A and B are shown apart, each in its own frame.
Chain A
């Protein structure tokens, strides 16, 4: 349904996309996960016909972005992180306009707009508030409604929850889930691992213009190895002592929560947990909590994009998976902004 073949895009000397190959089967949700500046938005702009790739081609519902951009536009709905709604229009007027621009007749456009306002729970303010007076979450929902108004087979969501509060994020997730229930093919870019994990059937990790990994969340976690042990110390002051004790036993640890929380790889599973606890007990360090778990996508992400200068978070508190709002909004890349 969506296929990218060898997409290369350069902005001056900088290679934004360095040979992207990706296939998204019909009716699935493809997550596109990467740090700021990895190339996510450039991929979206290629797929939405706003940018022409330097090399390669992309197909959306069988239409080439190069030779049939209008066919692509007819098959596509887009909702971006900037929620491009007209602030001077009401929700109803916004949706009716978008429907008409998709080629719907006036009456059909009006009916469809009303229906979507109900579906997206915006009908109570549809005629009373201008879109400029909407909250961030409402704007995003309105934008999303515009993206699906012509029932396109493919919907592209560019960081749909960036900058939203938890409630807005939850609402947006629900809306995306209901889309997939209708069999729409979705490409979703995000910098939040939790979001990709929740919504996507398959996740492509993109870093510096390349796809560095592609697969289900479980498969990606598999790639980074086995289980992890999380240990929370009773006293944060023991952090350094605990780390060196585990180090002597051959374990590299990551510390978080001001040294109180330690994470280490335990490929052998249960015995690894017991052994780590034994080491700490011998060192006379009190443990408040200890748990064995699968790696989080954060760890997967950092493992796969290691060495990137654009790591999403300097804090290696690996347990706190993808917190929206914790990072800066993905602003324009300097080279692209100049265009």
Chain B
């Protein structure tokens, strides 16, 4: 059974990745320090201009969406490292699932993302963010965030398998994140952008994920902020889930196809 083997091999690889992560505390520092820095910079450097306390509350959903998108670069870098070290060649010569290697990576990187979510929520509490809904609603929001993290992780995987060197994977894996994260409603109101960018921001899954998280936490839009319009703006949760499904449906098969095609050395 192919799917059973993919999951079984994925678990073996994920476990191996997590052991490696545990022995590379430096990687965790990046994953933890980066969201903390973003929270501090955005809350206190930009936050004063953008609405103070109300903005800081608004910010948490945005930072969550942005950080989890950035975490896809972990997938890109670590997969590229395995490619470069020849370990992937070893895996490719084993009678194991082709999907398993990448699935293992994206699953273990979910652990990193879960840590990021906890760190950001902790930071949020420190700067005055509160969830006004119940624990169930908060947990659902977190589950949606992790689904999104899992989906963008496959984008990172495809980047690694296309770049095939750590350096290229690292720069490519970061490059796309900036426009994608900032032409969105993660940090500002999507509807405040110029017309051309406004349409992109409205349909940007990051806008929807940030809005869905805010909805789950019961965080209000600060005064003077326009709620993102359009269908995605009105149905952020549904649009987020659909986006994740589409991202996985496109990038997972593409990554697996690329994995089959690669041939190092």
Contacts and interface: CB of A to CB of B under 8 A. Distances in A.
Contact of B89 (A50, A88, A101): A50
A86 B89 CA distance: 12
Interface string B230-265: 000000000000000000000000000000000111
A102 B23 contact: no
A78 B90 contact: yes
Contacts of B9: 100-101
A10 to B, nearest CB: 13
B86 interface: yes
Contacts of B16: 86, 89, 93, 97
A86 B20 contact: yes
A54 interface: no
Interface string A79-90: 010101111110
A103 interface: yes
Contacts of A258: none
Contacts, number: 73
A98 interface: yes
A74 B94 CA distance: 7
Contacts of B13: 97
B89 A73 contact: no
A76 interface: yes
Contacts of B125: none
A49 interface: yes
B96 interface: yes
A76 B89 CA distance: 14
A76 B86 CA distance: 17
Given A49-B92, A103-B95, A86 B265 contact: no
B86 A101 contact: no
Interface string A43-57: 001001111000000
Interface stretch (A206-214, A269-277, A331-339): A331-339
B225 interface: no
A215 to B, nearest CB: 29
A101 B23 contact: no
Nearest to B22: A88
A337 B12 contact: no
B263 A45 contact: yes
B12 A101 contact: yes
A332 B13 CA distance: 27
Interface string A261-302: 000000000000000000000000000000000000000000
Interface string B1-35: 00001000100110110011001100000000000
Given A80-B86, A101-B9, A101-B96, A339 B263 contact: yes
B94 A84 contact: no
A191 interface: no
A190 B13 CA distance: 32
A30 interface: no
Main secondary structure of the interface of B (DSSP, over half): helix
A50 B261 CA distance: 9
B93 interface: yes
A73 B93 contact: yes
Contacts of A85: 87
A73 B95 contact: yes
B171 interface: no
Contact of A339 (B19, B100, B264): B264
A179 interface: no
B19 A88 contact: yes
A41 interface: yes
Most interface-central of B16, B92, B94 (chain A CB within 10 A): B94
A89 B100 CA distance: 19
A130 interface: yes
B95 A102 contact: yes
Contacts of A130: 23
B24 to A, nearest CB: 7
Contacts of A100: 9, 12
Contact of B86 (A73, A84, A93): A84
Interface string B77-104: 0000000011101111111100010000
A165 interface: no
A174 interface: no
B141 to A, nearest CB: 33
A325 B265 CA distance: 21
Given A88-B24, A101-B9, 6 more contacts: A48-B92, A78-B90, A85-B87, A88-B20, A103-B5, A103-B95
Closest 7 pairs (CB-CB, A-B):
A88-B20, A84-B90, A73-B95, A84-B86, A48-B93, A74-B95, A101-B96
Interface of B: 5, 9, 12-13, 15-16, 19-20, 23-24, 85-87, 89-96, 100, 263-265
24 contacts: A41-B265, A48-B92, A49-B92, A51-B263, A73-B95, A74-B95, A80-B89, A80-B90, A84-B85, A86-B20, A86-B87, A88-B19, A89-B16, A97-B13, A97-B16, A98-B90, A101-B9, A101-B96, A101-B100, A103-B95, A336-B265, A337-B265, A339-B263, A339-B264
